[in-house]
A = this chain, B = another copy of it.
Amino acid sequence: MNSPITLKEFQQEHGELITNHMVKNVERLSMPPVLKEAMVYSLQAGGKRIRPILLLAAIETFNQDPMLGLNTAAALEMIHTYSLIHDDLPSMDDDDLRRGKPTNHKMFGEAAAILAGDGLLTYSFQLIAEDPALTSDKKVKLIALLARCAGPEGMVGGQVADIEGEMKQLTANELENIHVHKTGKLLTFSVIAGGIISGASDNELELLERFAFHIGLAFQIQDDILDIEGSEEMIGKPVGSDESKHKSTYPSLLTMKGAKEKLQFHLDEALMSIDELPVDSSLLTEIAQLIVSRNH
């Protein structure tokens, strides 16, 4: 028996493919050049591609061809990209830089940035609906789930809750609720979509959903931890400086020790869920472990 593919091999093989697939599909559309430039700019601005990689890895886990999920993975990453463009706008986080490059509205102006986001969001549903590799039944399931995870009951609702919660002291439950919606729902979509495309059973989809819920929270807790420990190493920002900005984080609400315990809890729960799958889940296990051990 061949040893299963490692995450590193899997990421190398698929990360660039996803970027190329997104760009190629936008390039072939007929639209005003400035809109295309703005859309492609943010699609090429880098990123870990964690969501589409998770989606393709879930398909690989079920011994199906990951390429069956390429359009859905690209659509998902386009929605993530649109959300970053809109989040960076002056009326939201007002960020000038993302990953060291000027944000979309800094490059193209606010109107074009809003419309590039609208264009990516709209086109993502078209990409799934026009996928020649999937049945209509699967496409409808994927579109309904993606809209639920990305829309008012998911990511968009989470972004509103995040803005509302910014200047007040949150409870740990309120903070978790924001993360579950703002970032967790799209991560959940990644994994469940892989299952839907692979023809997973309802029971298997439930296990995938539980896995995704817990790695979503682990991902966010690790983010909060890195905000503190990463900065301390690099620029000597003291632990707890986020607290003085009234921004609620897991370490500020639970102490650093409490946050690390919670991180371990969610990792354990995630791994237990996929251990129950009747397939080799080593690739998903590796992704989960990478999420908690990453240092950026």
Contacts and interface: CB of A to CB of B under 8 A. Distances in A.
Contact of A32 (B26, B109, B151, B157): B157
Interface stretch (A159-167, A218-226, A231-239, A283-291): A159-167
Interface of A: 26, 29-32, 34-36, 39, 86, 89, 91-92, 109-112, 114-115, 117-119, 121-123, 125-126, 129-130, 135-137, 139-141, 143-144, 147-148, 150-153, 156-157, 159-161, 163-164
B35 A152 contact: yes
Contacts of A139: 136, 140
Contact of A164 (B32, B92, B163): B32
A90 to B, nearest CB: 8
Nearest to A123: B151
Contacts of A114: 86, 89, 91-92, 114
A110 B96 CA distance: 18
A35 B156 contact: yes
A36 B160 CA distance: 10
